Amino acid sequence: MRCLSRSGPRLCLLGLAVALSACATATADVAPSGRRDRAAEEARPGPAVTSAPPADARPDVPAGADAVRDAALAERVVPLLDAFVNSEASFSPDGKTLLFNSNRHGLPQLYVAETSRPDAPARRLVSTKERISDGVITPDGKGVIFLSDKGLDENLSIFRVDLGGKNLVELTPGESLQRTMPMLPDGAPGTMVYSARAAADVSSRVIVQSTSSGGVPRVVYTAPKPAVVTDARRDGKEALLIQLTSNSDMTLFVVDLGSGKARAIYPKEGMATMGYARFSADGRRVFVATDGGGEAGLVLALDAATGRELARYTEEHPRTAKAAELAVSRRGDRVAVRMNAGNRSEVRLLDAQKLTPAGTVALPLGSGTLSDFSADGKRLGVSWSTPSAPADVMAVDTASGMVSRLRDEPRPSLAALPPLEASIVEVTSFDGTRVPVNVYLPQGGASRGALPVLVLVHGGPADSSEIRWSTAVRYFGSLGYAVVEPNVRGSTGFGRAYEEADNGRKRLDALADLGAVARWVGEQPWADPARRVVMGGSYGGYMVLLALTRQPELWRAGVDMVGISSLRTFLKTTTGFVQEVFKVEFGDLEKDGAFLDSISPLADADKIVAPLFVYAGANDPRVPLAESDQIVLALRRRGVPVEYMVRDDEGHSLERRESRIAFYARVGRFLEKQLARGKEGAP
């Protein structure tokens, strides 16, 4: 259940949505950014299909001086993308081979290397023009199972290939489904267990299938709500399934894969959030990363048969950190947990019996994800990034907690990047709430004064901006911007109450937080208050549009990436998963339609006066393309400056190298022009 944001702005709409569809990518031939392939658009999955837009909502094609400037700015983007990302490490059973994901060739693909030779070249496993994500080596060490989709449409299919790269086969042809990464129980060779659903469905299926070519999927259980298989017992007889009512209300089931019966084991009463759940090595316990319905991050050990609590770990520093990911050693002695502390990640090693600390993991300030333990339990795979270093795969020594690099590959373009100063502050909002804010300044920026400021709003809404490597931060920093990332109420990692503080009728309180941050920015000696820009993706794009409609005096320009413009049209056309979970986050369209209309930016589009850049992916199943079309049309009809970029081979994403180069170059040029006009007093 991870969402890796390789492109800078976080595009996940609801963090847990990635459990049912990945937030990663692949490589493909790219259509011109100013043209839409209408046939391909009409062929994409049901909820995302839209009719052809009015002529006034067609994408722009940069020409003349704009195209020349875009080409110049593209040269600033390329070095950032050359500093590629490595992630999702997987060890072979004998520990000699490393499988990992990397976007070095333009989109995340799978690579294989020797664990004993971090500096030796890695071998690309397969050649494909589509995204590959979440690969894992099979228990026999002979093959790899991975997920891939077409055009980043999130209809992920399961593939198998030999570890040598031969005999590639699609295991799930036919029905288009949003599938999760299969669990491969090593005591049931040739079996995989996964969850899946059609994009329009609310219900989710638990499926058992052979990993051999031609294996027939067997649906053993159907959950009435969105649900995710997070583990399978080693003998292949049971699976763990987390069912979601909302981001703060989840239920853990044990599903008997023979009979198809499911029993709820946690929570016994009340509500709880869960980040992950895993069986113990012997299958008698279940480890759960949760908040227990309270403020503190917890890891619980439950009796697998009854759900009775056997042991507990409570996070203390910081207490409100969210237990986000779990890994369990096959030796049965260690549990690893990644804590999302809101503006950073931390990793804990625990004794599997008592859930007491079992050593300190020496990772730098930054963020990342867990992979899994090696078969001998001596190493834990992690992916980690810092503001100065892109994510890379590393190994944690489970005895000492020391960290070593699994790959030692040169990234010479990093040396040419201008230094950046990162800090964390708190800003007081309208009701006294303290809003955590990440601040990135060019070196010496605190004394320069009058910098343009980019306020970057994360997606989610249940997500957070962590201190990390960010293409957006580094790119705009190189152009002389200060970059500010507010974790407004609704963000994760700061406690349950803070995460729920924007739900339903309290939605605009999060916007008030954003306004407080903008006003704070305007008071800083390093900021030019006349050049504040708000930018965000997905839910962050919705916040951009809200800010421009309700806080026009604070913002000189906006950048909306795959954002929601009308909650009514969005909820009618998005995926069943998002529709269901948004009933708690925002409201039920049938019961709360008037309220949802009142907080929809499209209803107040006549109040937008700031220039706007809009980006969308034609294959987006979460925020369908029409959401971008209609805000662009509304602004163009009023003569508000707006530039529109659509990529035919992207979904709810900005992942392909060509897409990212074009996007950052165009946004850099658009803002350069608009901010210059503002400084001169022109409209």
pLDDT in tens, 604-629: 999 999 999 999 999 999 999 999 99
Q: Which of 300, 340, 562 is nearest to 467 (CA)?
A: 340
**pLDDT tier for residue 5 given thresholds of 50, 70 and 90:** very low
Burial of 271 (0-12, 13-18, 19+ CB in 10 A): middle
Angle between helices 64-82 and 471-478 in degrees, nearest 10:
120
**Mean pLDDT, rounded, for 341-349:** 96
pLDDT in tens, 72-111: 999 999 999 999 999 999 999 999 999 999 999 999 999 9
Query: What residues are paired with 384 via a beta bridge?
Result: 368, 392
Query: What residues are paired with 91 via a beta bridge?
Result: 98
Amino acid letter, 574: T
Domain ranges of the chain: 413-676
For residue 3, CA distances in Å to 131, 276, 440 come to 14, 14, 22
The answer, yes or no, to whether residue 19 has pLDDT greater than 50, is: no
The answer, yes or no, to whether residue 8 has pLDDT greater than 90, is: no
- Overall size of the chain counted in residues: 683
**pLDDT tier for residue 41 given thresholds of 50, 70 and 90:** very low
pLDDT at 432: 98
Pairing of strands 169-170, 157-162: antiparallel
For residue 404, CA distances in Å to 17, 35, 331, 384, 395 come to 32, 46, 21, 11, 5
pLDDT in tens, 245-303: 998 899 999 999 999 999 999 999 999 999 999 999 999 999 999 999 999 999 999 99
**pLDDT tier for residue 34 given thresholds of 50, 70 and 90:** very low
**pLDDT tier for residue 53 given thresholds of 50, 70 and 90:** low
Amino acid letter, 320: T
Q: Kindly give the residue spans of alpha helices, DSSP state H, lying in 46-107.
A: 64-82
**pLDDT tier for residue 214 given thresholds of 50, 70 and 90:** confident
Read off the tokens for 552.
């026009």
Enter the DSSP assignment of 672. H
Find how far residue 426's CA is from the centre of its chain: 24
CA distance 273 to 248: 5
Phi first, then psi, for residue 436 (nearest 5°) are -70, 140
* E strand intervals along 609-664: 612-617, 642-647
The answer, yes or no, to whether residue 343 has pLDDT greater than 90, is: yes
The answer, yes or no, to whether residue 377 has pLDDT greater than 70, is: yes
**Residues above pLDDT 90, as percent of the chain:** 87
pLDDT at 443: 83
- Backbone dihedral region of 8: left (phi > 0), alpha (psi from -120 to 50 degrees) or beta? left
The answer, yes or no, to whether residue 7 has pLDDT greater than 80, is: no
Widest pairwise Cα distance in the chain: 72
The answer, yes or no, to whether residue 3 has pLDDT greater than 90, is: no
CA distance 655 to 561: 13
What's the fold here for domain 413-676? Rossmann fold (3.40.50)
Q: 3-class DSSP state for residue 169?
A: strand
In this structure, the dihedral spanned by the alpha carbons of residues 203, 26, 561 and 529, taken in order and rounded to 10 degrees, is 130
The answer, yes or no, to whether residue 166 has pLDDT greater than 90, is: yes
What is the number of H-type helices and E-type strands within the chain? Answer: 12, 36
For residue 84, CA distances in Å to 103, 109, 274, 340 come to 6, 12, 31, 24
**pLDDT tier for residue 590 given thresholds of 50, 70 and 90:** very high
CA distance 528 to 509: 25
**Mean pLDDT, rounded, for 20-25:** 30
This prediction's pTM: 0.91
| DSSP result, 221-255 | EEESS-EEEEEE-TTSSEEEEEEEEETTEEEEEEE
The answer, yes or no, to whether residue 20 has pLDDT greater than 60, is: no
| Cα angle 231, 235, 241; round to 5 | 25
Enter the DSSP assignment of 405. E
Rg (CA), the chain: 24
Query: What residues are paired with 349 via a beta bridge?
Result: 336
| Cα angle 566, 568, 574; round to 5 | 90
**pLDDT tier for residue 50 given thresholds of 50, 70 and 90:** very low
pLDDT at 644: 98
**Mean pLDDT, rounded, for 633-657:** 97
